[in-house]
Amino acid sequence: ISLRQLRWKEFPFGRRLPCDIYWHGVSFHDNNIFSGQVNKFPGMMETVRKITLSRAMRTMQDLFPLEYNFYPRSWILPEELPLFVFRVMKDSNPSWKPTFIVKPDGGCQGDGIYLIKDPSDIRLTGSIQSRPAVVQEYICKPLLMDKLKFDIRLYVLLKSLEPLEIYIAKDGLSRFCTQPYQEPTLKNLHQVFMHLTNYSLNIHSGNFIHSDSVNTGSKRTFSSILCRLSSRGADVKKLWSDIISLVIKTIIALTPELKVYYQSDIPAGKPGPTCFQILGFDILLMKNLKPMLLEVNANPSMRIEHEQELSPGVFENVPSPVDEEVKVAVIRDTLRLVDPQKKKRKDTQCQSLEPALGASEELPDAPLSPEATLPSLCLKQVFPKYAKQFSYLRLVDRVAALFIRFLGVKGTTKLGPTGFRTFIRNCKLSNSNFSMAAVDILYIDITRRWNSMGIDHKESGMCLQAFVEAFFCLAQKKYKSLPLHEQVESLINFCECRLAALRNKRLVWGCGLAGRHGALPATGATPGPGCTSPPQPHGPQAFTLQKSSQLRALMCRDRAGS
């Protein structure tokens, strides 16, 4: 439907000539693509898995606890089971016993999710060792509509990683439970139609209501919910502002890991596609209208029909007006935003109009482009539009840039011991109180612990999350009296300053060496800082010396991890 509206042509089985956009069903690696644009980022599926997402959010909560209080407290099983048990015992209150929800790491569509009141119930399942999971605080006081619990599926377009560009769909889906809500008790913990909002679960309930209206039924538009809230006097503008903030902060938490995967699969300087991706954000509104993030989906369903059982065992696909209204617009407008031909068309139109400027005769009406007949975009840019409000949160992004800089080998996602030592030396972080032997011990201890957690064993070395932990340790050693986020920012500034000075020093050294050999700058080149190039005879030898000195300088920078 979206392609018909745009008047685009689809090649479902590919073609010999490259396409402008490749639409993958699951991941970036569905096909080998070397040009154009692809609708998946490498590593996105791994980055938004429940355990990886929880770790990323916890890192941000450590740095900015107040800004990241929209994600429930989480523990990773099995390695954090003792910590979870200890925390529950410490926080125990005779008058109120909290509820927790257990979610398998790779689960989807509600598969394997269950509620518990006591940590001992986790051990009884017997599946945690073979299937890692996340256990979270269950939100017991959600906002209800028609006495039913519901969540929101919002569609978010990550258009670009560098520079970061984020869009949010102006409408989404509200997915309802099919049994009136009651706060969790030992008697109702297992009633999934009361507690779990997953569409794939509730559609099997006898109470599920398919509706042709966007305002009623078990699946409605989010805009219809906002209208009802507004009629009750709720501050809908503040709610939208809070949701936008939640989305931006979540993407900021995810981008460091994504950048590591991106440079591994699409190294700088090599041909490759650019990427974009539609994400599904699952958000729950609390009774006080505070949005809470439940999870992020790398492959949200874009189906616009549902199965209906006509007779026992006989099913038919029936159109869903609610899905069609929201999802068609999201896909269509995503394609409009990433359209690689848009700029070319604008340039062509401008060139065709130039000769007509000042002409007295009337021009015939030009045929309307597909863009002119389409509704306004349903996707609203939120970043970089609000970049000034959120840029201070991007500390881990800067740590990831240091990590990537010292990876050394292209195509890798883990830092070896040599790269870590080079990072320490180049940033001058070792001293009499922190020797290189201590550096090696820090590397070994942290890397070994993260590898024991079941982190990707395809490569040996230190993953980004382990490097972030090591970086935080170094920051706490160096700047003892500051809060953690100030410690980390101070160390980042220190490292960036040291590396910039080292780079300038090498540029001056390279230029000075070239000058001593009587070299001339290459065509279009400018001398480095403080360098002058006296006139020398033109000739092959002079150019060869300049080229040679540049190569030596580059080799030195490569060896140093620049």
Condensed to tens digits (0 to 9), the pLDDT of residues 201-224 reads 998 888 999 888 889 999 999 999
- What pLDDT is recorded for position 513? 61
493 assigned to some structural domain: yes
- Collect the ranges in the chain with pLDDT lower than 70: 29-30, 34-35, 109, 123-130, 269-271, 309-311, 342-371, 454-458, 509-562
- What pLDDT is recorded for position 314? 72
User: Which of 362, 391, 420 corresponds to the end of one domain?
Assistant: 391
**DSSP state for residue 22 in the 8-state scheme:** E
Which helix (H) or strand (E) segment holds residue 299: the answer is none
Beta bridge pairs of residue 161: none
Q: Are residues 415 and 334 in the same domain?
A: no
- Structural domain for 172, as ranges: 1-46+144-343+375-391
Which helix (H) or strand (E) segment holds residue 515: the answer is helix 484-516
Q: Are residues 225 and 305 in the same domain?
A: yes
Q: Are residues 409 and 318 in the same domain?
A: no
Q: Are residues 399 and 383 in the same domain?
A: no
Q: Are residues 158 and 288 in the same domain?
A: yes
Nearest-angstrom CA–CA distance, 152 and 171? 10
Residue for token pair 């692809």: 38
pLDDT digits (tens, 9 = 90+) for 222-248: 999 999 999 999 999 999 999 999 999
Q: Please enumerate in sequence order all residues whose Cβ is within 8 A of that of 216, keeping only pairs 6 or more positions apart, or say none.
A: 209
Number of domains, the chain: 2
3-state secondary structure of 24: coil
Q: Are residues 505 and 446 in the same domain?
A: yes
Nearest-angstrom CA–CA distance, 76 and 56? 12
53 assigned to some structural domain: no
Give the global pTM: 0.84
3-state secondary structure of 434: strand
Q: Are residues 285 and 432 in the same domain?
A: no
The backbone torsions φ and ψ at residue 372, rounded to the nearest 5 degrees and listed phi first, read -70, -25
Amino acid code (one letter) for 259: K
369 assigned to some structural domain: no
Instruction: Give 425-434's long-range contacts (Cβ < 8 A, gap of 24+).
Output: 426/498, 426/499, 426/502, 426/560, 426/561, 426/562, 427/494, 427/495, 427/498, 427/499, 428/498, 429/474, 429/478, 429/495, 434/477
364 assigned to some structural domain: no
- What pLDDT is recorded for position 299? 93
- What pLDDT is recorded for position 324? 92
| Helix 484-516 with 50-63: angle, nearest 10 deg | 90
22 assigned to some structural domain: yes
Q: Are residues 448 and 499 in the same domain?
A: yes
In 117-184, which ranges are E strands? 133-137, 144-145, 148-160, 165-169, 173-176
Give the residue from 265, 253, 250, 256 showing the smallest Cα distance to 464.
256
User: Which of 357, 391, 425 corresponds to the end of one domain?
Assistant: 391
Q: Are residues 482 and 382 in the same domain?
A: no
67 assigned to some structural domain: no
Encode 150-164: b = buried (16+ Cβ within 10 Å), e = exposed: bbbbbbbbbbbbeeb
Q: Are residues 416 and 274 in the same domain?
A: no
- What pLDDT is recorded for position 475? 97
Q: Are residues 331 and 383 in the same domain?
A: yes
Determine the distance from the C-alpha atom of residue 459 to the mean position of all C-alpha atoms in its chain, rounded to a whole number. 22
- What pLDDT is recorded for position 368? 57
- What pLDDT is recorded for position 67? 98
155 assigned to some structural domain: yes
Q: Are residues 387 and 488 in the same domain?
A: no
328 assigned to some structural domain: yes
- What pLDDT is recorded for position 512? 65
